[in-house]
């Protein structure tokens, strides 16, 4: 299929995103429409009380390549669990791209296991922004799952990775 020069010139630049060895073509114009305003994204068996990604005072958090950023989530579980596992995704055009974090075991990230029902806990981890990540705007989704794979907490934050 061939495109006329005018049509080709009117298309926005396509950026290739590499996260955990997965390549996606992303249209930057379509990406801007994907960011919801809320933080909670489906905490099924828990409640998110506070999310702190340092240093992010505004809704569009700006992070720089080559640095890890501390993440602190205060939550309460509505169920008991012997273990917990974190899963982090970058969301681009509705697709979830797995994002590697240093420690996926919630019990090694500030959560006292076994998790007790109705007890408030503080989850601590780091969001590494690697130097290979391209400058881009994306949505990060962070989930903590219990031993039955139910979502203790889920939150989203719009980020902008800068060079």
Q: Beta-carbon neighbour count of residue 50 at 10 Å?
A: 12
Q: b or e along 1-14 (b: 16 or more beta carbons within 10 Å of the residue's beta carbon)?
A: eeeeeeeeeeeeee
Domains and CATH numbers, the chain: 5-162 (2.60.40.770)
**20-67 tens-digit pLDDT:** 333 322 222 222 223 233 478 989 999 999 888 888 866 678 999 999
Residues 6 or more apart in contact with residue 69 via CB below 8 angstroms: 53, 54, 55, 56, 63, 126, 127, 128, 129
Which pLDDT score, from 0 to 100, does residue 101 have? 94
Token duo for residue 68? 């890890």
Q: Quick one: what percent of the chain has pLDDT higher than 90?
A: 60
Q: Helix or strand or coil: residue 21?
A: coil
**82-124 tens-digit pLDDT:** 999 999 999 988 899 998 999 999 999 999 999 999 999 999 9
What CA–CA distance (Å, rounded) separates 87 from 154?
Answer: 9
Among 142, 139, 134, 135, smallest CA distance to 159 is for: 139
């Amino acid at each position: 299929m061939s495109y006329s020069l005018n049509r080709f010139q009117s298309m926005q630049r396509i950026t290739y995103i590499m996260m955990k060895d997965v390549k996606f073509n992303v249209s930057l114009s379509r990406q801007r429409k994907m960011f919801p305003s809320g933080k909670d994204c489906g905490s099924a068996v828990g409640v998110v009380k506070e999310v702190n990604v340092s240093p992010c005072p505004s809704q569009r958090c700006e992070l720089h390549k080559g640095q890890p950023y501390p993440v602190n989530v205060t939550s309460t579980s509505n169920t008991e669990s012997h273990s917990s596992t974190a899963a982090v995704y970058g969301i681009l055009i509705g697709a979830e791209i797995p994002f590697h974090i240093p420690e996926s075991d919630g019990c090694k990230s500030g959560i006292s296991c076994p998790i007790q029902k109705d007890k408030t806990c503080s989850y601590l981890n780091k969001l590494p922004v690697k130097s290979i990540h391209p400058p881009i705007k994306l949505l990060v989704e962070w989930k903590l799952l219990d031993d039955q794979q139910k979502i203790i907490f889920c939150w989203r934050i719009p980020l902008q990775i800068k060079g």
